[in-house]
Amino acid sequence: MKIEANRKVNTGTKVNSARRGIGNSLITSAATGLILFIGFIAQLLPAAELKPDHRYLYVAAPGIRNYLEYGGHGLVVFDLDDGHKFVKRIKTSGLDTQGKPLNVKGVCANAETKRIYITTTRTLTCLDLVTERILWEKPYGFGCDRMALSPDGKIMYLPSLEGPVWYVVNALNGDVITKITPNSGAHNTVYGNDGSHVFLAGLRSPFLTVAETTTHTSNSAVGPFSAPIRPFTVNSKQTLCFVCINELLGFEVGDIKSGKKLFRVEVEGFQKGEVKRHGCPSHGIGLTPDEKQVWVCDGHNRRMHVFDVNTMPPKQVASIELRDQPGWITFSIDGRFAYPSTGDVIDVGSRRIITTLKDETGADVQSEKLLEVDFKDGKPLQAGNQFGVGRTSVKGNW
């Protein structure tokens, strides 16, 4: 009898243990499910939680050669959400041996590293976006031109001043990692959206050099185009490039994958003529962030010409008169505003000029080197691009 009783007790214990095990499994499964559900919901929230509370336009000056009458010297900051009103001027460097400001050649920024960079004809300056202090300034042997940052903000491709090389630079300390030497007259640089490739345009070459960022080598190119390349832009998938070239009022389109030129697009209804700067009819081109339009500069006629790129070749749909000759174009991160170098602020939807940039003295501000930086709780949240590049699949802070 005792043996039977023990058997009953042991059997009951096993049943209870099994029941507890099933209960614990159910609790664990429910908890896991709850965690997964919370994680899923959390993925839906960041867009609202990370909405910037301040959006600013950073304008590097002197951004029209070294002409101080177009905004003086420094980073001139404007409030996107308050009619692009002047906010402040941040002191920068980039001076010659007599203490006079040098031409600003480019500007770029990264929210993750909290840094903004300015090139002049001789030096690269790095500033902290939060403290607004200069962290370092370095000269480079062949000078500096319009650079580009990797999406994570750690690597910079820095062109020499119309020289033979692009410096590959550690963006955190300015040290040179290596060099790429296309011998094209280094000038303009665009980093691809996914960080895998960089596009290098020289003043003396009809080819757009394509560099791989894993090896920092260039083994392919797009072209030849009809003349040496001036400003250009690239879509976010890195399949198409839109390039300004010498002697053309308009632009040409290239297929990055095949390396071939696809189309030549000429502005209709306007004639080429003399320009104040750059020596080419169209110096400045940009894609709207949604990649539905390409805007191209027309210096002689003081116009921005708008093309629909939903069809190929792109179709001209509008022309906007500006207060001066444009030499550059970029856009706000959300694509609402267009910023030609003339200091006109254009509403992209209506294609109307809604205001003009003026500094603390009321003087007109013009610059070919400008971009948006957004903040939340006093910290950089995202940064735009000095180039009007496609942003339909942007994942970085650039």
Question: In order of start, what are the domains of the chain with their CATH numbers?
Answer: 56-383 (2.130.10.10)
Strand-pair category, 74-79 with 54-61: antiparallel
User: What's the average model confidence in pLDDT over 237-242?
Assistant: 97
- Rounded to two decimals, the pTM is 0.87
Token code pair at residue 316: 């001209």
Which of 310, 394, 297, 301 has the alpha carbon at shortest distance from 338?
297
Helix (H), strand (E) at residue 40: helix 2-44
Decide if pLDDT at 164 tops 50.
Answer: yes
Q: For residues 126 and 153, what is the distance between their CA atoms, to the nearest angstrom?
A: 12
User: What's the average model confidence in pLDDT over 144-160?
Assistant: 98
User: What's the average model confidence in pLDDT over 159-182?
Assistant: 98
Q: What percent of the chain has pLDDT over 90?
A: 85
Out of 97-106, 111-120, 218-227, 385-394, pick the least confident.
Answer: 385-394
Decide if pLDDT at 3 tops 50.
Answer: no
Query: Average per-residue pLDDT in the chain?
Result: 90
For 242, residues 6+ apart whose C-beta sits below 8 A from its C-beta are: 232, 233, 234, 251, 252, 253, 254, 285, 287, 294
Q: For residues 328 and 349, what is the distance between their CA atoms, to the nearest angstrom?
A: 19
DSSP letter string, 61-97: ESBSTT-GGGT-SEEEEEEGGGTTEEEEEE----B-T
> What 3-state DSSP class applies to 183?
coil
User: What's the average model confidence in pLDDT over 330-350?
Assistant: 98
User: What's the average model confidence in pLDDT over 275-279?
Assistant: 96
Q: What confidence tier does 394 reach under pLDDT thresholds 50, 70, 90?
A: low
Q: Of how many residues is the chain composed?
A: 398
Out of 6-20, 194-208, 211-225, 361-375, pick the least confident.
Answer: 6-20
Q: What confidence tier does 393 reach under pLDDT thresholds 50, 70, 90?
A: confident
- pLDDT tens-digit readout, 205-239: 999 999 999 999 998 999 999 999 999 999 999 99
Decide if pLDDT at 6 tops 90.
Answer: no
For 233, residues 6+ apart whose C-beta sits below 8 A from its C-beta are: 190, 241, 242, 285, 286, 287, 294, 387, 388, 389, 390
Decide if pLDDT at 84 tops 80.
Answer: yes
* Strand ranges of the sheet holding 134-139, from the earlier edge strand across to the other edge: 104-110, 115-120, 123-128, 134-139
Which of 296, 322, 382 has the alpha carbon at shortest distance from 109?
382
